[in-house]
Homo-oligomer: A and B are copies of this chain.
Amino acid sequence: MPDNNLQHKIVDVPTSAPNCVALTLEEVQALSYRVLTHHGLSAAQAQAIARIITAGERDECHSHGLYRLLSCTRTLQNGGVVRDATPVVSDRAPGVVAVDAQFGFSQLAFEVGSKLLIEKVRKTGIAALAINNCYHFSALWPEVEALVEHGVAALALTPSHSWVAPAGGHRPVFGTNPIAFGWPRAGALPYVFDFATSAVARGEIELYRRSGRALPEGWGVDAEGNPSSDASTVLDQGAMLTFGGYKGSALATMIELLAGPLIGDMTSVESRIVDAGAGAAPCHGELVLAFDPQFFSQGDFREDRLRAEKLFAGITDQGARLPSQRRFSARSRSLANGCVQIPEALLKDVQQLLR
């Protein structure tokens, strides 16, 4: 599996990508696996993460691709991650499965728990997967997409580190609290969204800080709760804001409650306290719901599906976009090309992780 001699691929670049190296998806996965096991992760943990990183590169979500190995290994160095954690599954109720990730990463815990989630939802119609005690650093769309492949609709929620103030406030209480949703479509890629309930990602504000640019309105406040366009003020003294004002703030609260106290796991405030400034990936819980349409239909399941397709057509026919379209286009491209383009500098940084 390991193959560190990747430079030869430069000559194979099928599209013009200056200063990039073409890697096959297998090579991305093998490199990721090698880096992760080199840093002491068990084979099972490393494989689950390598798959997600490969999906990120395939979909040209570069911040969720190989780049994540940098923060993932930093979390391994600084955080309390259990490198060979074996997730423990509990069958809590006919509709509830819980997985104790045992302070490993989320990916393996999800893989292990989602099997029982699907079994349950096939009987109960709606079921929930609670993942506890796990380190999170990846997007939620790979999880809802994995569930949607079974023909179910899926919703995933998780807190993070408290960086975001409630509407009308000035002190961080919420994480960037993402919500992801997936809907299966016959003969088409699924309808999928995955967004942070913060106005923007924290990394976006970091980029503004580095370039010294003023933040757009609505991204953050200073320590007194006044709107601030200064990235350092927002990141270090004040707080980020949610999207959508008091409505986004309410939604962020719901995510804290359902993926925190409901499942007996940490809020974003607690998770940040536990991190104690180490800058590791947040450790907390996650809630995933699955809905099996066959139990909800009034009878004509094909008609129901057609209704959903008409809704999508009503959006795209007027030139509006469905979420994930950019990602799905990238996916087709990657699969057609048989490879993805990795910046040489990033590849060098990742290979440094093997030293």
Interface residues of A (CB under 8 A from B): 92-96, 98, 100, 123-128, 130, 132, 153, 155, 165-171, 173, 179, 181, 183, 191, 193, 195, 197, 225, 243-251, 253-254, 256-258, 260-267, 269-270, 289, 291-293, 295-301, 303-305, 307-308, 310-311, 314-315, 318-321, 323
Question: Are the CB atoms of A320 and B169 closer together than 8 Å?
Answer: yes
The distance in angstroms between the C-alpha atoms of A165 and B256, with both chains bound, is 29
Within 8 Å by CB of A320, from B128, B168, B191, B300, lies B168
A-side binding surface: helix, strand, loop or mixed? mixed
Structural contact, A153 and B92, CB atoms closer than 8 A: no
Task: Across the A-B interface, give the 8 residue pairs with the lowest CB-CB distance, nearest first.
Answer: A244-B244, A93-B125, A264-B298, A169-B320, A96-B125, A95-B124, A261-B308, A193-B250
In the complex, which residues of chain B have a beta carbon less than 8 angstroms from the beta carbon of A245? 243-244
* Copies of this chain, tallied across the complex: 2
Closest to A268 in B: B311
Whether A293 lies near B170 (C-beta < 8 A) is no
Is B298 a contact of A169 with CB atoms below 8 Å?
Answer: no
| Chain B CB within 10 A, most for which of A127, A166, A243 | A166
Chain B residue, CB-CB nearest to A92: B295
Q: Is the CB of B298 within 8 A of A265?
A: yes
B residues less than 8 Å from A92 (CB atoms): 125, 295-296
Evaluate contact between B124 and A304: CB separation under 8 angstroms: no
Cβ contacts under 8 Å, A293 to chain B: 262
Bound together, the chains give a CA A270 to CA B303 distance in angstroms of 13
Q: Give chain B residues whose Cβ lies under 8 Å from the Cβ of A303.
A: 264
Q: CB-CB < 8 A to A132: which residues of B?
A: 298
Q: Would A169 and B318 be within 8 Å (CB), given that A125-B93, A264-B300, A264-B303 are in contact?
A: yes
Asked if B320 and A167 sit within 8 Å, CB to CB, the answer is: yes
- Name the B residues within 8 Å of A269 (CB-CB): 310-311, 314
Other-chain contact of A166, B171, B308, B315 (Cβ < 8 Å): B315
Question: In the bound complex, how far is the Cα of B314 from the Cα of A173, in angstroms?
Answer: 6
CA distance A247 to B247 in the complex (A): 11
Q: List the B side residues contacting A130 at CB < 8 Å.
A: 296
Query: Closest chain B residue to A293 by CB distance?
Result: B262
- Residues in B whose Cβ lies below 8 Å from that of A128: 125-126, 291, 296
Q: Return A155 CB to nearest CB of chain B, in Å.
A: 8
Query: How far does the alpha carbon of A258 sit from the alpha carbon of B323 in the complex, in Å?
Result: 17
CB proximity of A243 to chain B, nearest CB, Å: 5
Q: A269-B310, A307-B267, A311-B261 are in contact. Are A95 and B126 (CB under 8 A)?
A: yes
Do A96 and B267 contact each other (CB < 8 Å), given the known contacts A170-B318, A308-B257? Answer: no
Residues of B within 8 A of A314 (CB): 171, 173, 269
